[in-house]
């Protein structure tokens, strides 16, 4: 009886203290990355028009109340990547994020994850009532985005830290079709 009461008390304390519930692990369909999100993520596909063709966008989102968590990538055509180095793409992603939310850049720091060059950014938006915090990474033709949008007081919350800290690149096996050569 005492053990059951202690377990129930522990559960109630955990719920009262806001222990995260319902976290899900999202793995990109092509197994390029994995991230944890506080709730069920919705997968969206879109495209970005570039002067040399479409750039597919794959995003996973979770929104609840005043928070949004987004992770995914844009895959640029080869001709775009040949003309822009990773720093230029990271600058463009940062500037685009600031412009999109009509915000003010608070932080822009170099970051690396598994040997992949990136940036950690933080933006104040909506007159300071919204905070966007996250990372951009460039790997090959892809620009990866991992962003949390919250109130300023929640920008460094355990949920945001867990989300941003859980993003990892996964090893991928690249395959290509090759013609079999007949045995001699």
Give me the sheet containing 33-38, strands edge to edge: 23-27, 33-38, 168-169
The residue that leads in pLDDT, 2 or 138, is 138
Q: What's the pLDDT at 80?
A: 80
The residue extents of the domains of the chain are: 24-169
> Per-residue pLDDT for 130 more than 70?
yes
The residue that leads in pLDDT, 22 or 148, is 148
If pLDDT is split at 50, 70 and 90, which confidence band does 173 have? Answer: low
24-169 adopts what CATH topology?
Protein Transport Mog1p; Chain A (3.40.1000)
> Per-residue pLDDT for 64 more than 50?
yes
């Amino acid at each position: 009886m005492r053990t059951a009461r202690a377990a129930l008390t522990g559960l109630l304390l955990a719920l009262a203290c806001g222990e995260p519930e319902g976290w899900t692990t999202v793995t990109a369909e092509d197994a390029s990355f994995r991230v944890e999100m506080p709730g069920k993520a919705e997968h969206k596909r879109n495209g970005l028009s570039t002067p040399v063709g479409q750039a597919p966008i794959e995003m996973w989102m979770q929104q609840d109340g005043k928070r949004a968590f987004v992770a995914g990538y844009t895959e640029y055509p080869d001709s775009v990547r040949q003309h822009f180095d990773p720093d230029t793409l990271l600058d463009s992603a940062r500037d685009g994020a600031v412009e999109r939310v009509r915000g003010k850049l608070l932080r822009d720091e170099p970051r690396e994850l598994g040997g992949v060059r990136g940036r950690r950014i933080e933006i104040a938006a909506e007159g300071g009532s919204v905070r966007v915090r996250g990372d951009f990474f460039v790997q090959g033709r892809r620009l990866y985005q991992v962003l949390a949008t919250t109130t300023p007081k929640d920008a460094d919350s355990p949920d945001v830290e867990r989300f941003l800290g859980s993003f990892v690149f996964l090893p991928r096996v690249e395959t290509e079709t090759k013609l079999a050569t007949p045995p001699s």
